[in-house]
């Protein structure tokens, strides 16, 4: 199977003033690859951008993919093009489903979603409901009118598990995450996705939780992700297989210097969010600046996102 598919835009619905839901279906004779809860796909848009969107539908639904697309104020061109140009009947080229936010089997699952961050958790909730698993779902938005996928949730078998929290644009009137997360119950896994303010609040409130039971999916780079002192310094990067030795200046990323030297590395977000450029590291201490590797993966010091992460010391050896 090719690593790309051309799917038909079967339906576009306006969920809120700023959110569209998009149903993609296979063309005649084509089958859709299965996906796991929390997965996403890359859209290869005609304007040259490659935004990523979570799959919101039940993974058991094999005939379509459902996306939620927020019109970003600081769009790189992806969401702006979709809101302005996309129409039913068009063909969209997509990448195969990938999952950087997988659902882990647990005695109990707790979801905290903010705005468009609800999308990956919709597929997770459907999966847990089908398995008869225990979960609770807190969905935070400004108002009922700004709440995407209300109809989908209302029609689901798990709608009564959802608690809506509308803050009217005032975070102080929002979900009390400190109280909610004060006492982690044994075996509970926490999932959070949404605006940075909510995610930072959840991260702080869950600081005493076991790290392997707290899962985040970031839409923008995590400002607190760096494991170093925040200062960019030059360092040497050695490519193990080719023996090439490169200097990475303070004002350039590893991937930029690799490309300047005709070493191609596949990237998409270039913000440490998608994991496309994760590369094995043979030697050297990594200053992790991504928002995708788990704390355990970062502590292992054997892989890095070369789009944004750097060296803590003077030298890194990559398995390239």
Greatest Cα pair distance in the chain: 59
pLDDT in tens, 14-33: 999 999 999 999 998 888 99
The answer to whether residue 225 scores a pLDDT higher than 80 is no
Q: Global pTM?
A: 0.86
Q: How confident is the model at residue 229 (pLDDT cuts 50, 70, 90)?
A: low
Which pLDDT does position 84 carry in this prediction? 95
The answer to whether residue 301 scores a pLDDT higher than 70 is yes
Contact between residue 210 and residue 295 where contact means Cβ atoms under 8 Å apart = no
The answer to whether residue 227 scores a pLDDT higher than 80 is no
Contact between residue 193 and residue 113 where contact means Cβ atoms under 8 Å apart = yes
Q: How confident is the model at residue 44 (pLDDT cuts 50, 70, 90)?
A: very high
If DSSP codes are grouped into helix, strand and coil, which group holds residue 17?
A: coil
Which pLDDT does position 77 carry in this prediction? 84
User: What fold characterizes domain 4-95?
Assistant: Elongation Factor Tu (Ef-tu); domain 3 (2.40.30)
Which pLDDT does position 231 carry in this prediction? 80
Which pLDDT does position 291 carry in this prediction? 85
The CATH superfamily holding the domain 235-318 is Beta-grasp domain (3.10.20.30)
Token pair recorded at residue 288:
């992790």
pLDDT in tens, 112-149: 999 999 999 999 999 999 999 999 999 999 999 999 99
Residue intervals of the chain classified under CATH 3.40.50.80 are 108-217
The answer to whether residue 223 scores a pLDDT higher than 70 is no
pLDDT in tens, 63-104: 999 999 999 887 778 999 999 999 999 999 999 999 999 999
User: What fold characterizes domain 108-217?
Assistant: Rossmann fold (3.40.50)
Q: How confident is the model at residue 226 (pLDDT cuts 50, 70, 90)?
A: low
Residue intervals of the chain classified under CATH 2.40.30.10 are 4-95
Which pLDDT does position 230 carry in this prediction? 67
User: Which of the 8 DSSP states describes residue 197?
Assistant: H
| Neighbour-count burial for 84-113, b at 16+ CB within 10 Å, e otherwise | eebeeeeebebbebbbbbebeebeebbbbb
pLDDT in tens, 178-217: 999 999 989 999 999 999 999 999 999 999 999 999 999 9
Tell me what the mean pLDDT of segment 265-278 comes to.
Answer: 88
CA distance 24 to 46: 16
- Closest CA relative to residue 283, chosen from 265, 299, 301: 301
Task: Please state whether beta strands 315-318 and 235-239 pair in parallel, antiparallel, or not at all (unpaired).
Answer: parallel
Which pLDDT does position 273 carry in this prediction? 86
From 48-57, 161-170, 225-234, the region with the lowest mean pLDDT: 225-234
Average pLDDT value over all residues in the chain:
93
CA distance 120 to 53: 9
CA distance 22 to 308: 31
Tally: H helices and E strands in the chain: 7, 18
């Amino acid at each position: 199977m090719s690593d790309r598919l051309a799917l038909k835009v079967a339906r576009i619905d306006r969920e809120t003033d700023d959110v569209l839901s998009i149903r993609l279906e296979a063309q005649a004779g084509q089958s859709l690859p299965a996906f796991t809860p929390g997965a996403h796909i890359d859209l290869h848009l005609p304007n040259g951008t490659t935004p990523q969107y979570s799959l919101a539908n039940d993974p058991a639904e094999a005939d379509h993919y459902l996306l939620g697309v927020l019109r970003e104020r600081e769009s790189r061109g992806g969401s702006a093009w979709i809101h302005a140009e996309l129409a039913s009947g068009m063909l969209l080229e997509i990448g195969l489903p990938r999952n950087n936010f997988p659902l882990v089997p647990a005695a109990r699952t707790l979801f905290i979603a903010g705005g468009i961050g609800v999308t990956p958790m919709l597929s997770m909730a459907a999966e847990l409901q089908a398995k008869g698993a225990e979960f609770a779902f807190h969905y935070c938005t400004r108002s009922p009118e700004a709440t995407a996928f209300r109809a989908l949730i209302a029609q689901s078998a798990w709608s009564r598990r959802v608690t809506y929290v509308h803050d009217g644009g005032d975070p102080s009137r929002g979900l009390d995450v400190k109280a909610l997360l004060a006492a982690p119950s044994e075996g509970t896994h926490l999932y959070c996705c949404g605006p940075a303010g909510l995610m930072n609040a959840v991260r702080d409130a869950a600081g005493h939780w076991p790290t392997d039971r707290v899962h985040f999916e970031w839409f923008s780079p995590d400002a607190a992700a760096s494991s170093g002192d925040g200062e960019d310094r030059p360092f040497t990067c050695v490519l193990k297989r080719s023996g090439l030795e490169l200097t990475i200046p303070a004002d350039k990323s590893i991937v930029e210097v690799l490309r300047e030297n005709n070493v191609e590395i596949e990237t998409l977000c270039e913000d440490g969010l998608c994991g496309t450029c994760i590369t094995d590291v043979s030697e050297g201490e990594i200053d992790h600046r991504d928002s995708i590797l788990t704390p355990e993966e970062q502590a292992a010091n054997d892989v890095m996102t070369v789009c944004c992460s750097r060296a803590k010391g003077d030298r890194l050896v990559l398995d390239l």
